[in-house]
Amino acid sequence: MMSSNGKIFLLDYKNLDGFQANIIDGKQQYLAAPLVLLKSTRDDKLMPIAIQLKQKSSTDNPIFLPTDSKYDWLLAKIYVRSADFTEHQLNAHLLRTHLLAEVFAVSLLRNVPMVHPLYKLLIPHTRYTLQINNLARGFLISKEPKGFFNDYVSSGGQALWLVLKKSLDSLTYSSLCPPDDIKERRVDSVPGYYYRDDALQLWPIIHRYVDGILRYYYKTDADVERDNELQEWIKDIFEHGFDSKASTGMLWDVLKKQ
Ligand SMILES: [Fe+2]
């Protein structure tokens, strides 16, 4: 989402372009797809220096600056915050953690027996996944009244499902791996990005642990291919989590073609 050029960063919410915002209690809401220029300061903070709320430049789409009137600039920043809420909660949080974790969890329960090393490795991490997602379906994204997004959020209503669909369309395997994700989003040098700093330290630790267990049971690639339960597990994930699309870079498709 960010591209860096020296010490200026471009934050682009293009994922949110073209959606009809929610109507709450008969009142039309607004949903922006902003472009934001941010500058890193000498004390390593990130400051917004220009905001455009819609993607295409036009006469009714001004570029807001910190030198504009106090409330124009404040309002522009509030629109960015609102867009960030939608992008974070629907794409990064709901889709890429909760819903995708459910695909992995259900596939594990469907395809892999309890004695299997893969089951033993993964099952502790699926604890509460189904329970909390069930609550989310009932109270957070429910189409009925009393669904939080429907009742209170500009990206509720129809937009919610379309944002989720568009986010799923752009989901790739590599974007779930922090070292690749950080490179692809070009956020290596953004100051004060603690998610990146923590994730890049944890990743090799988790990788070493998982690698150690799997290499104990699978000595060769052929061992992986011959394991029908593992193959059914990843096939289910490929179909239901990645829409059976080879362009996502999911491995099952690579193995299938060999
Ligand atoms: Fe959560």
Task: Tell me what percent of the residues of the chain surpass a pLDDT of 90.
Answer: 84
pLDDT of residue 258: 47
Average pLDDT over residues 151-158: 93
Mean pLDDT of 117-125: 97
Q: In whole angstroms, how large is the CA radius of gyration of the chain?
A: 21
Give the Å distance between the CA of 161 and the centre of ligand 1.
18
Residue 69 forms part of a structural domain = yes
Q: Tell me the pLDDT tens digit for each residue of 126-142.
A: 999 999 999 999 999 98
**Mean pLDDT calculated for residue range 196-206:** 97
7 CA from centroid of ligand 1 (Å)? 32
Distance, C-alpha 126 to centroid of its chain: 19
Q: What's the average model confidence in pLDDT over 218-236?
A: 94
| 257 in a structural domain | no
The CATH number of residue 208's host domain is 1.20.245.10
**Pairwise CA distance, residues 8 & 40, whole Å:** 7
pLDDT for res 144: 74
User: 105 is in which domain, residue-wise?
Assistant: 2-56+65-247
100-111 vs 228-241: helix axis angle to the nearest 10?
150
**Does residue 256 lie in a domain region?**
no
- The count of domains in the chain is 1
**pLDDT (average), residues 43-53:** 93
Q: How far is the CA of 119 from the centre of ligand 1 (A)?
A: 23
Residue 252 falls inside a structural domain: no
157 Cα–ligand 1 center, Å: 20
Q: Hey, CA dihedral for 157, 185, 39, 53, is it positive or negative? A: negative
4: pLDDT strictly greater than 80? no
Give domain status of residue 255, yes or no.
Answer: no
Q: If you measure from the C-alpha of residue 72 to the centroid of ligand 1, how many angstroms do you get, rounded to a whole number?
A: 33
Residue-level pLDDT at 250: 84
**Mean pLDDT value across residues 193-221:** 96
- Check pLDDT > 90 for residue 209: yes
Tokens of 152: 């209170």
Give the distance (Å) from ligand 1 centre to CA of residue 132.
8
Residue 255 confidence (pLDDT) above 90: no
Q: How far is the CA of 89 from the centre of ligand 1 (A)?
A: 9
The whole-number pLDDT of residue 6 equals 52
What is the structure's pLDDT at 122? 97
pTM for this structure? 0.90
Is 214 inside any structural domain? yes
Rounded to the nearest angstrom, the distance between the alpha carbon of 104 and the centre of ligand 1 is 16
Residue 182 lies in a domain: yes
Per-residue confidence (pLDDT) for residue 5, from 0 to 100:
47
Read off the pLDDT of residues 156-197 as tens digits, 9 standing for 90 and up: 999 999 999 999 999 999 999 999 999 999 999 899 999 999
The overall average pLDDT reported for the chain is 92
DSSP state, residue 92:
I
Query: Considering the domain boundaries, does residue 253 fall inside one?
Result: no
